[in-house]
Amino acid sequence: MVGVKLAVVLVVLVGGDVSFSMTIGNDARGDLAREDKVAFEDTTEAAGEIPAATTEVLPAEDISCRIPGITYPIGIEFEELAERLLNNSVVLIDVRNRWELEETGKLPRSQNVPLPEFKTAFNLSPEEFLKKYGFVKPEPEDDNVVLTCRSGRRILRAWDAIEPLGYCKVRLYFGSYLDWKARSAPLIPVPKSLEP
Ligand SMILES: *[C@@H]1O[C@H](CO)[C@@H](O)[C@H](O)[C@H]1NC(C)=O
């Protein structure tokens, strides 16, 4: 992934909604494909060398939706995340606090469920969740959910909170906000909350 250049071409604000576009070089796509392949091959090999190591330590209900041979949680790199945001094939959830989003802006099309209320949120009914957070509550089997935070630490705690609920396929953007910002990718202003 070293040396990958990403050019941010355009950011358009249309009312409250946001459309944006980025150009990702062919180099980035190539690297991405290679990296994905390597990651999956590596984990499969590792699983072969250390048979059933993971399945032995974890209770059965915690691994019900896991695919053997893949190490969880699965990460996602900047290039793939950016492409998936552009083609609307991802639900990106930022687990930072609202005041942090107000300070830094938010990643385009991201939703916000702060870490302190993460577990409670995912125990809400779909109706309550939608009302409180303004987007459809992901189903445990969904494979299009990505978590992000500031530095990549809080997403691990968020994953810990919902993985036992069966959300095995949630992916983590370990680079998170710091990586996004370092690449000068678009950030969308968040209005100051009226609450004290
Ligand atoms: C969206 O982009 C991702 C990453 O490049 C790709 O794998 C996926 O097939 C695309 N989905 C659609 C619906 O175009």
65: domain CATH number is: 3.40.250.10
* Pocket flag, ligand 1, residue 80 (CB < 6 Å): yes
- Answer whether residue 85 is part of any domain: yes
Residue nearest to atom 5 of ligand 1 (CA): 83
pLDDT above 90 (res 145): yes
pLDDT above 70 (res 105): yes
* Pocket flag, ligand 1, residue 87 (CB < 6 Å): yes
Q: Round the CA-based radius of gyration of the chain to a whole number and report it.
A: 18
Dist. CA 24 → ligand 1 center (Å): 13
pTM of the model: 0.72
Of the residues 22, 81, 149, 170, which is catalytic? 149
- Answer whether residue 187 is part of any domain: no
Q: What is the DSSP letter of 175?
A: T
Q: CA 117 to CA 137: how far, in whole Å?
A: 14
Question: Is 65 noted as a catalytic residue in this protein?
Answer: no
Confidence category of residue 196, pLDDT binned at 50, 70, 90: low
* Pocket flag, ligand 1, residue 77 (CB < 6 Å): no
- Answer whether residue 192 is part of any domain: no
pLDDT (mean) for 66-79? 91
Residue with tokens 């909604």: 17
For residue 39, the model assigns a pLDDT of 33
Q: Which residue has the higher pLDDT, 5 or 111?
A: 111
Q: CA 67 to CA 65: how far, in whole Å?
A: 7
Q: Cα 54 to the chain's mean position, in Å?
A: 23
**Number of residues that this document lists for the chain:** 196
Which domain range does residue 115 map to?
A: 6-182
- Answer whether residue 196 is part of any domain: no
DSSP H helices in 64-182: 78-86, 98-104, 118-122, 126-133, 154-162, 176-182
For residue 140, the model assigns a pLDDT of 94
- Answer whether residue 1 is part of any domain: no
Dist. CA 3 → ligand 1 center (Å): 23
Dist. CA 87 → ligand 1 center (Å): 6
pLDDT above 90 (res 56): no
- Answer whether residue 141 is part of any domain: yes
**Which burial class, exposed, middle or buried, applies to 113 when counting CB atoms under 10 A from its CB (0-12, 13-18, 19+)?**
buried
Residue nearest to atom 3 of ligand 1 (CA): 84
**Which burial class, exposed, middle or buried, applies to 73 when counting CB atoms under 10 A from its CB (0-12, 13-18, 19+)?**
buried
Summary mean pLDDT of the chain: 77
Domain count along the chain: 1
* Pocket flag, ligand 1, residue 19 (CB < 6 Å): no
* Pocket flag, ligand 1, residue 89 (CB < 6 Å): yes
- Answer whether residue 164 is part of any domain: yes
Q: Between helices 78-86 and 26-49, what is the axis angle to 10°?
A: 120
Q: CA 35 to CA 52: how far, in whole Å?
A: 25
In this structure, the number of other CB atoms found within 10 A of the CB of residue 67 comes to 11
Dist. CA 76 → ligand 1 center (Å): 13
pLDDT above 70 (res 104): yes
- Answer whether residue 190 is part of any domain: no
Residue 55 and residue 153 in contact, taking contact as beta carbons nearer than 8 Å:
no
Residue 98 and residue 114 in contact, taking contact as beta carbons nearer than 8 Å:
yes
For residue 188, the model assigns a pLDDT of 97
pLDDT above 90 (res 185): yes
pLDDT above 50 (res 37): no
* Pocket flag, ligand 1, residue 83 (CB < 6 Å): yes
pLDDT (mean) for 164-184? 96
Give the helix/strand (H/E) hosting 53: helix 53-57
CA neighbor of 156 nearest in space, from 142, 138, 137, 170: 170
